Amino acid sequence: MELETYMHDLGRRARAASRWLAKADAATKNRALNLTADAIEHAGARLIEANARDVAAARLAKLDAAAIDRLTLTEKTVAAMADGLRQIASLPDPVGAISELKERPTGIKVGRMRVPLGVIAIIYESRPNVTADAAGLCLKSGNACILRGGSESIHSNQAIAVCVHEGLRGAGLPEDAVQVVNTTDRAAVGILLHMNDSVDILVPRGGKSLIERVMNESRIPMIKHLDGICHVYIDDAADEAKAIRIADNAKTQRLGTCNTMETLLVARPVAATILPKLASVYKSKGIELRGDDAARKIVPDMKAATEEDWRTEYLDAILAVRVVDGLDQAIEHIATYGSQHTDAIVTENTAHAQRFLREVDSSSVMVNASTRFADGYEYGLGAEIGISTDKLHARGPVGLEGLTSLKWVVFGDGQIRT
Amino acid sequence: MELETYMHDLGRRARAASRWLAKADAATKNRALNLTADAIEHAGARLIEANARDVAAARLAKLDAAAIDRLTLTEKTVAAMADGLRQIASLPDPVGAISELKERPTGIKVGRMRVPLGVIAIIYESRPNVTADAAGLCLKSGNACILRGGSESIHSNQAIAVCVHEGLRGAGLPEDAVQVVNTTDRAAVGILLHMNDSVDILVPRGGKSLIERVMNESRIPMIKHLDGICHVYIDDAADEAKAIRIADNAKTQRLGTCNTMETLLVARPVAATILPKLASVYKSKGIELRGDDAARKIVPDMKAATEEDWRTEYLDAILAVRVVDGLDQAIEHIATYGSQHTDAIVTENTAHAQRFLREVDSSSVMVNASTRFADGYEYGLGAEIGISTDKLHARGPVGLEGLTSLKWVVFGDGQIRT
C-alpha cells in the first residue's frame, strides 16, 4: 500500500511537471541539459563510487560478465553521458512549431502544432547511461518522465538522478520533470503499468520477456520493439562485391543487436557463385550456417535449417540461409517470417529495388546498404529512445519527433459553422 | 467454434488482400472507388429495399425515432454515399511518396515512405452509410478492412458490400479487401477484438459503452474517441460580438456532436456584461444553464452546477457555465475537467491566444472560432474516419493520412557500417 501511494504520487507529480515542461522554451530546456552535463562531469568520482556498489552486488549475485560489463561506469562512459546530453541540447527543439497552415473556404486557418506527449514512463534494464539519455530526450521534447531502471543499477541511477535534478533546478524547471523510481521492489513495475491516468506512453527497453510482460499487463499506449528478425536478400541482379560486403557486415559487425541480419536470402541464379564465397567469409568469422536443401547442395557443410530457424532471432553467431526463386519469393518469405524491423535488398535492378521498398512492410527497408544502419544516430536523429516495430505513430528508430505529436490549431476571426 | 473459424478466416483473407492493396497504384484504387459509386447508384432501389427490412425490424424492436432516422436510407442518402466515394477518389493518394530524403555522412540516403497500416477493423453502430465511407477511406489509403456494423443494419450493410465488391472486382482488386461481417452474433465482436495477428488497427465508432468495451477487451492499437467535453473560454480581452456568436454556435448549432461545447468559461471582468446577453440567447433556444455561484449571481435563474457538471458530456440542451479569474484558471479548468478533444478561446490579445494554443493539451485548439469546426471536412481532409482523442499517432480528425504510417527507406551503393 505504501508502494502504491509512492508510485501514484510519482505519477501525480509527473503530470503536474509535464505542464510546466510543455511550455518551457528551448533555451530553458537546453540550459537544464547543459547544466546536467556539467553536474555529471563534476560528480564523476561520486557516480563511479555509487556504481561500484551496484557492480559489487552484481558480482555477488553472479551476474554474467556481459551484464556486469553493461552495468559498469568508467570515466569514459561518464564523459560519454555528459557529451550525449550536450548533443541533445544542440538538436533543434521539436516543440511548438506550426506547420501546414492553410486557409479554408470558411475563412478559418487550420494548421498543426508539434506538442509533447505528456508523461513518458521508461522501463529499462542494466545500462545506467540510459538514465541520462532518456531523461535528456524526454526533457528536450518537453515531456516529463518516470524512469524505472533495473534493480541491479539502482545506486548508479539514483546518483545520475541527483545530477539531473541539479540541472533542472539550475534552469528553473521542476525537479519532478525527471523522477527515478527509488525502490527495487518489483511490484513497482506492476503498479506503473496500470497508471493510465498519469502515464501517456510506456517505453519498455530490454529483453523480450520484459517487453512481453509490459504488453500483456498494460493498456497504456507504448513505443516498443519486440523482435529483430532482419533479412538481406541478394537479388539475381545483385553486384557480387556489394552483396558479399553487405551480407558480411549485416551479420558480423555486431552479433547481438536488433538490426543484425538473422536470415540471408539468395536468388537461385546467383546462389551457386555467391554462396561459396560468403560461406568462407562466415567460416573465417566463426558464424554457423543453417541452410535449406538448395543452399546445402551448394555449401555441403551447412547444417539443415528447420522451420523454426526462419522464425528465430539468434542474436548470436548463427545465420539461417535460404535459396529463393527470386524477388517474389524473397518478399513472401519476409512477410511470413520477418518481424517488420529492417530488411535489405542487394540489387542493381531499379524495378526490383522499388518493388522491395514498397512491398516489404518493415520499419526500415534498404537498398544496397547494411541492415546495421537502422539506428537513430545513423539516420541523423541525433539520438534515439528505441526502435519501434509497431505501425502506429513512430516506426523504426524513434528520436525527439517520436516523443511528440501533432495537434490541430485553428485561427479564426469570429467564424461559426453554418 | 464455427464463428471462431469464420472470423479468423476473415482475418486471414484480409491480411492477404492487404498486401495486394498496399501495392495497388492510385489509378486502380480510384477505379474501384468510382465503380463502387456507380454500383451504389445503380443498386439504389435494391439498397432501399434491403434497408427497409432493417427499418421494419428496428420498429418491431421499438428503437427510438432518432435511431430509426439514423438507420434509414433514402434516395438522397444513397446518392450522398456515391458522391462521398467519388470525392475520396478525387483526393491525392497518400501512399508511396518518399519525403525528407537526406544524404548522411556515411553516403547512405535516408528518407521516409508513407505506407498503409495493413488491416483495419471498424466496429460501428447504426448508420449504414459508414459502410461505404469506411470502405472508401481504407481502400484509398491502401488498407484492407473488416467492417462490423450494428446488427440492426445488417441487411443494408450486406447490400452495400455487394456494391463495393462489384467495384473491387471491376478494378481487378481482391474482394477480400473489404469484408463486412455477415452475422449479427455479438460474439463476433469479442473474437475480432482478439485477432491481434490479423488486425493492425481497431477503429471503434459509436457510443461510450462500445468504446469502453473495446478499450477493456482488446490490446490491438486503436484510433478512438472517448469523450468530447469541449470548452469555449471568453477571455477578458474578447470581442463581445465574436464571443456571443461563437458561444452560441458552439453550443446550439448541433447538440449531439462530439465537438459541441459542454462548458462555457467566462473571464470575471467581462462576465457581468456578456453572460446576461448569452443567457437570453440560450433561453430563446431552450438551452438549460447550470452555473457556478459567480455565474448565478449575474444570471439568477441558472441552476447550480455541481462538480459532476464539469465532467459531463451532455450531448443535450444543457450547458455548464463557470466564471474564472482569467486565462490561467481557464487553462487549469480545461486541464482538470476537459477530455482533450476541442477547446477554443475568444480573445483579441495575441499573447493570451498564443498561451492558450500552446498550453491547452487538446487535439484541436482554436482562437476566435467555433468548436464545431473540429471536423475532417472543415479541416480540408476530404473525409474522416473519426476524431481521435488519443495522443499517439493521429490526434483530432483522422483522414487518409491517419490511416497510414511512415517507414524508413535507405538507399545505398554498397555501404556498410564500421
Each residue's pLDDT tens digit, B46-64: 999 999 999 999 999 999 9
- Average pLDDT for B84-93: 96
Q: Which three cell numbers stand for residue A49?
A: 563510487
Please state, rounded to an integer, the average pLDDT across all residues of chain B. Answer: 95
Q: Which of A391, A408, A410 sits opposite B117 (nearest CB)?
A: A391
Max intra-chain CA distance, chain A? 78
Label residues A204-226 b or e (16+ Cβ within 10 Å = b). Answer: bbbeeebbebbbeebebbbbbbb
Q: pLDDT > 90: what percent of chain A?
A: 88
Using the beta-carbon criterion (under 8 Å), do B379 and A408 form an inter-chain contact? yes
Partners of B397 on chain A (C-beta within 8 Å) are: 408
pLDDT-derived band at A271, boundaries 50, 70, 90: very high
* CA end-to-end span of chain A: 54
- The stretch B28-50 carries a mean pLDDT of 97
Average the pLDDT over B71-99 and give the result: 95
pTM score? 0.92
Which residue in A241, A412, A418 is closest to B366 by CB distance?
A412
Residues of A in contact with B391 (CB under 8 A): 117-118, 200-201, 221, 405
User: Which residues in chain A have Cβ-Cβ distances shorter than 8 Å to B405?
Assistant: 391-393, 395
Residue of A41, A40, A205 lying closest to A120 (CA atoms) = A205
Q: Look at A115 and B361 and tell me if their CB atoms are within 8 Å.
A: yes
Q: How confident is the model at residue A26 (pLDDT cuts 50, 70, 90)?
A: very high
Tell me the Ramachandran region of residue A231: left when phi exceeds 0, alpha when psi lies from -120 to 50, beta otherwise: beta
| Burial degree of B140 (CB within 10 A; 0-12, 13-18, 19+) | buried
DSSP 8-state code for residue A286: T
pLDDT at B227: 87
- Does A113 score more than 90 pLDDT? yes
* pLDDT at residue number B282: 98
**Preferred mutation among A21, A28, A416 to probe B, highest tally of B CBs within 10 A:** A416
Verify whether the Cβ–Cβ distance B370 to A417 is below 8 Å: yes
For A343-376, the pLDDT digits (tens) are 999 999 999 999 999 999 999 999 999 999 999 9
* A284 has pLDDT over 90: yes
User: Tell me, what DSSP letter sits at residue A222?
Assistant: B
Searching chain A, which residue's CA lies closest to the CA of residue B350?
A: A411
Q: First and final CA of chain B: distance in angstroms?
A: 54
**Furthest-apart CA pair in chain B: how many Å?**
78
Q: Are A90 and A393 in contact (CB under 8 A)?
A: no
How far is the C-alpha of A267 from the C-alpha of A326, rounded, in Å? 5
**A96 closest CB neighbour out of B113, B118, B358:** B358
- Please answer yes or no on whether B246 and A416 come within 8 Å at the CB atom: yes
For residue A60, the distance in angstroms to the closest alpha carbon of chain B comes to 36
pLDDT the model gives residue A207: 83
pLDDT at residue A125 tops 90? no
pLDDT band at residue B208 using 50, 70 and 90 as cut-offs: confident
pLDDT the model gives residue B219: 87
Q: Is B335 helix (H, G, I), strand (E, B) or coil?
A: helix
B159-195: per-residue pLDDT in tens?
A: 999 999 999 999 999 999 999 999 999 899 999 999 9
Question: Residue B409: its chain A contacts at CB < 8 A?
Answer: 357, 364-367
- Cα A352 to Cα A366: distance, rounded to the nearest angstrom: 12
Contact across the interface for A364 and B410, Cβ inside 8 Å: yes
Contacts A344 to B, Cβ<8 Å: 410
Task: Check CB contact under 8 Å for B219 and A221.
Answer: no
Q: What local confidence, expressed as pLDDT, does residue B373 receive? A: 97
Of A26-30, A128-132, A147-151, highest mean pLDDT: A26-30
Q: Span B198-222, mean pLDDT?
A: 90
3-state secondary structure (DSSP) of residue B229: coil
Total beta-carbon pairs less than 8 A apart between chain A and chain B: 227
Q: Which residues contact B337 (CB under 8 A, 6 or more apart)?
A: B229, B263, B310, B311
pLDDT of residue A384: 87
Residue B66 confidence class, pLDDT cut points 50, 70, 90: confident
Compute the distance between CA of residue B168 and CA of residue B132 in angstroms, rounded to an integer: 13
Which residue of A96, A367, A378 is in closest CB contact with B411?
A367
Residues with Cβ within 8 Å of residue B262, at least 6 apart in sequence: B228, B229, B230, B231, B312, B313, B314, B319, B320
Residue B286, burial from CB neighbour count under 10 angstroms (0-12, 13-18, 19+): exposed
Amino acid identity of residue A375, one-letter, is D
Length of chain B in terms of residues written: 418
Q: What is the ipTM of this complex?
A: 0.93
Kindly tell me if the per-residue pLDDT of B1 is higher than 80. no
Nearest to A395 among B108, B355, B405 (CB): B405
Cα separation, A113 vs A119, in Å, equals 18
Whether pLDDT at A126 is above 80: no
* Distance between CA atoms of residues A18 and A116, nearest Å: 9
Mean pLDDT of A206-220: 88
